[in-house]
Amino acid sequence: MPLRRVLEPEVMDSDEEARDYDAMDHAGVNAAFCDDLTALAPDLGAVLDVGTGTARIPVALCARRADARVTAVDLAPSMLAVAAENVEREGLGDAIRLQRIDAKRLPFDDATFSAVMSNSIIHHVPEPETALAEMVRVLRPGGVLFVRDLARPEDEAAVAAIVASHAADDTPAQRALLEASLRAALTVDEVVVRVQPHGVEAAAVRVTSDRHWTLAWRKPAPGRA
Ligand SMILES: C[S@@+](CC[C@H](N)C(=O)[O-])C[C@H]1O[C@@H](n2cnc3c(N)ncnc32)[C@H](O)[C@@H]1O
Residue of 124, 211, 214 to test ligand 1 pocket, by largest number of atoms within 8 Å of CB:
124
Q: What is the mean pLDDT of residues 88-100?
A: 98
Alpha-carbon 23 to chain mean position: 18
Name the band, by pLDDT with cuts 50, 70 and 90, for residue 110: very high
Nearest ligand 1 atom to alpha carbon 125: 16
Q: How far apart are CA 82 and CA 53, in angstroms?
A: 8
Residue nearest to atom 1 of ligand 1 (CA): 120
Strands 113-119 and 46-50: parallel
pLDDT of residue 45: 92
pLDDT of residue 222: 81
**6 Cβ contact partners less than 8 Å away, ≥ 6 residues apart:** 180, 183, 184
The rounded percent of the chain whose pLDDT value lies above 90 is 88
pLDDT of residue 24: 87
pLDDT of residue 11: 86
Instruction: For residue 87, give the amino acid letter.
Output: V
Which DSSP string corresponds to 53-114? TTSHHHHHHHHH-TT-EEEEEES-HHHHHHHHHHHHHTT-TTTEEEEE--TTS--S-TT-EE
Q: How far apart are CA 166 and CA 182, in angstroms?
A: 12
Q: Do residues 182 and 211 make contact, with C-beta atoms less than 8 angstroms apart?
A: yes
Distance from residue 201's CA to the centre of ligand 1 (Å): 25
Does position 10 have pLDDT exceeding 80, yes or no?
yes
Nearest ligand 1 atom to alpha carbon 102: 20
pTM, entire model? 0.96
Q: Do residues 190 and 213 make contact, with C-beta atoms less than 8 angstroms apart?
A: no
Q: What are the CA-CA distances from residue 11 to residues 32, 100, 123, 156 (Å)?
A: 24, 12, 11, 25
Does position 89 have pLDDT exceeding 90, yes or no?
yes
Pocket, ligand 1, Cβ cutoff 6 A: 10-12, 26, 51-53, 56-57, 74-76, 79, 102-104, 119-121, 124-125
pLDDT of residue 224: 63
Residue of 56, 70, 75 to test ligand 1 pocket, by largest number of atoms within 8 Å of CB:
75
Does position 225 have pLDDT exceeding 70, yes or no?
no
Strand ranges, E, within the chain: 46-50, 69-74, 96-100, 113-119, 139-150, 205-207, 212-218
Domains of the chain listed by start with CATH number: 15-218 (3.40.50.150)
Closest-CA residue to 102 (of 126, 81, 67, 83): 126
Residue nearest to atom 25 of ligand 1 (CA): 11
